[in-house]
A and B are shown apart, each in its own frame.
Chain A
């Protein structure tokens, strides 16, 4: 402990008169929260995996040779062009990898702070609870979106290097020129983001409920697994339409000669409906919570 410590500063008399109210609205700026999260190892590892995966896939195709052409599907046309490759990469990762990435960013954000005990100091700083959640949610969703976006983006780059830029060959037959396909790619990535919203929201709700980041992330991923299992039970019939993951591959409707919007509209409705309720529960829960971590 430094022996020459000086504690001058403003005297308490002046400090007492200082208006403290306006500063609350500037607490926990997005940039600060982004920096706090960015340097975390799990952020860097998650992005590293997502950015390396396309190159691994490229290597796999180079070693394994061209996929066979017997069955229609995204894999058979994966090496047709950069965009085909990006679509394939999205197809193989949408079911699990991206889910884990999204759950990671949204499920860990509050629970990890609770685990480090830093949450109570932020709250006492003071950062109002609703604001803390809002800022954390925005940053977490931002990172999650960046993760979902970075995979196809890197795949486009890797695909261009390996297979060249060109028109997209549709799995059902036929081709779409590169310009149109880029627009459809935007639709696809946009929808992939929306459909992951429900995972993000659930992870976030669990994140404010538990102090264990692993529990929050695992819980959200578990929901996806359970929902997929129930979705496989065809006997459930129309009820499956309301499962959160039932429409998660509806973005493939953008790969038909004419885009089919119905599935994506339904998926968006389901995802948004669940997310809004789950997020409201998260805010409500956090607002009344006794923070004892």
Chain B
């Protein structure tokens, strides 16, 4: 059945769109994995044997391919990078993952990515890779083509290994440190870590909860898990005083890429988090600028999340890393990625309730102090108090709080209490006359005076026109001022848009939950002596978010399907009028109609009606009279045969139907409209000139009087009947077809109707009447056609059909009897 077919096809096409997506996802080729225990020797004197737990993933679909080493984050193991490893192996890389010493099933103790320990281990892993036949080799004895990627702790080992081993061809460190001393003892005045403020919360997490205590090795020997005892002692000393020792700074520096940045010659992709109070954006900035000085390609990407939480953009970051290795390891002509990319929150996708992330890109990395704009700050000198014991402390960033950061960007944040009254000085700008997009680290010069050393925390807030203030980012820049003096403070680097009408607020607070502050109560006077110097990067450009292909494809496919549906079922039209029949009102030839239920309603019917005839169409119920009339009106498609009116073939909507007036199977009116409106609108619907309607003559036949203005739903059966006959006579059609016209009429009206029909035919027009009332037909009709079971059983002048019998009724019954 064509209709069924069409609907099924439509559903099928719509379903295919969804099906393809699944198929693509399930189509991933299998990845093999080999587990290895790799023996390495490290330590300052190369005398410590360590067994590293490693997994090797041979490349899928290649005999030999560049290798990628995936390093895990602090507290993790090689299992963390398995999914990414499989992806890369599927993309045709040989991948090595391993648990660093002191983590997972590897032996040894944590040495904080020290060149004496972890870096030596990693170099021996490169030696191991060089022996694998699956790994592509660069010219040279044991130089595999290898890249290293990793997050946090694993990012630093990537940087440090690249600094110590020229065989590394590309690195993609993410969310990692450049200078570990500056990370743990930051000082926003630019002074040395020796005077920095201890990042106690993060350091504590790092050193105590850092390593799982369920490893297979010997039980943890120190309070800080599997750390080297010397590192543990150093931490405990520092944590107690809140001040770093020179030795601590030296040790931390030794584990910092900053110390060896001039030796990193591998193309470097640095991914850093905007929601990261542990390794803020300035870490990536310092690394990027130092490595770029070596003349190697460097790209910087700022993602939304970070160590504080938030959207880690895993999929996008993996894509960036893959592209980076495609370009610098596989060297397959992959286009250079943008030198600088910043993820910005664009809003919330209402269908997924997820924050929309858009990447703004620029072709050069501008650093943190580009296109500086000066924003004047107002506010007199204020006194802030350091509470005894350092509590209660204000809250800027906390691990895990980062998820709120994205909401801050939409103006919904600020629900968290952040500053304690009396502890914070605030300085506001004037409302902005145009939006200001800060990208980088703002600076401001302040004057501090007091009797004690002051540790202050500089933060930037966004103040809405209604006065609500929210942190631009939940980040604080700690600074230490010795007693009194003027310093230039560098605020936390960030990417943040201040809207028109909003104000920038600089907050200088004496406490912060994340940092060690003095327990000694103190008062400091704080004043700004310069405006806020705000860096901007107008070159950052956000390409429109790409829409999935189906957004364009689906409507186009639907259009094609729709066109197919409309074209496919079209019936051929090759009708030409028959000039020989131009004066024959009606000729039916071989007409056949079988309904879908199998009932043969009309069977090979042929008849011809001449002008001026009043033809009676007779037959018992079910003889096919009404079906024939419906086909005559173009309502039903005949299965075979044809109907011609004045030589024109009848089809649905054929223009010649304008010459047919019909009343079949009862009236059809709009019940809410009056009789007059019904006729008026019906005539206007025919599109013919109002003058041709002969409305008055038709209304006279209806004879409804005042009822004509009443809604049709108030009419009696007879009134509707008359109105319907009047409608059929509108425009005085040349062929008038009436089905049971006298139903519901009283005897005088029946008589009048008879006269009307006779007179109508007398003008040369033609009338076809179907009726049960044989007496009526006998009195009205000149000719008759008798149908039975869909066939014509008699036809001719009424007188002929009656013949010798007394009445038409007798003849009819006789004929019907013959027919059966």
Contact = CB atoms under 8 A, between A and B. Distances in A.
Nearest to A272: B555
Size category of the A interface is 35 or more
Interface in A253-293: 253, 256-263, 265-266, 269-270, 272-274, 276-281, 283-285, 287-288, 290-292
A276 B555 CA distance: 8
A67 interface: no
A116 B669 contact: yes
Interface stretch (B377-385, B476-484, B630-638): B630-638
B411 A172 contact: yes
A242 B17 contact: yes
Interface stretch (A4-12, A95-103, A137-145, A219-227): A4-12
Nearest to B636: A290
Contacts of B14: 242, 273-274, 277
A5 B351 CA distance: 69
Contacts of A281: 6-7, 10, 565
A287 B633 contact: no
B665 interface: yes
Nearest to B502: A174
Interface residues of B, number: 104
Given A123-B653, A124-B660, A253-B349, A284 B551 contact: no
A9 B694 CA distance: 7
B558 A277 contact: yes
Interface stretch (A16-24, A48-56, A58-66, A148-156): A16-24
A39 interface: yes
Given A11-B764, A280-B561, A72 B412 contact: yes
Given A124-B657, A125-B657, A36 B681 contact: yes
B465 interface: yes
A278 B7 CA distance: 9
A7 B545 contact: no
Contacts of B633: 120, 123-124
B658 A172 contact: no
A7 B732 contact: yes
A253 B697 contact: no
A266 to B, nearest CB: 6
A131 to B, nearest CB: 7
A150 to B, nearest CB: 21
Interface in B179-224: none
16 contacts: A2-B701, A6-B700, A11-B764, A28-B687, A32-B685, A36-B670, A120-B635, A124-B633, A127-B653, A260-B348, A262-B547, A265-B547, A266-B547, A278-B10, A280-B566, A281-B565
Interface of B: 2-3, 6-7, 10, 13-14, 17-18, 21, 346-351, 356, 410-412, 464-466, 468, 499, 545, 547-548, 550-552, 554-555, 557-559, 561-563, 565-566, 569-571, 582-583, 595, 611, 630, 633-637, 646, 652-660, 662, 664-673, 681-682, 684-688, 694, 697, 700-701, 703, 722, 727, 729, 732, 734, 745, 748-749, 752-753, 756, 759-760, 763-766
Given A121-B727, A263-B351, 12 more contacts: A1-B749, A7-B759, A9-B763, A23-B686, A25-B687, A124-B662, A126-B657, A172-B410, A173-B411, A269-B554, A277-B561, A291-B636
Interface of A: 1-13, 15-16, 20-21, 23-29, 32-33, 35-36, 39-41, 72, 116-132, 170, 172-175, 238-239, 241-242, 246-247, 249-250, 252-253, 256-263, 265-266, 269-270, 272-274, 276-281, 283-285, 287-288, 290-292
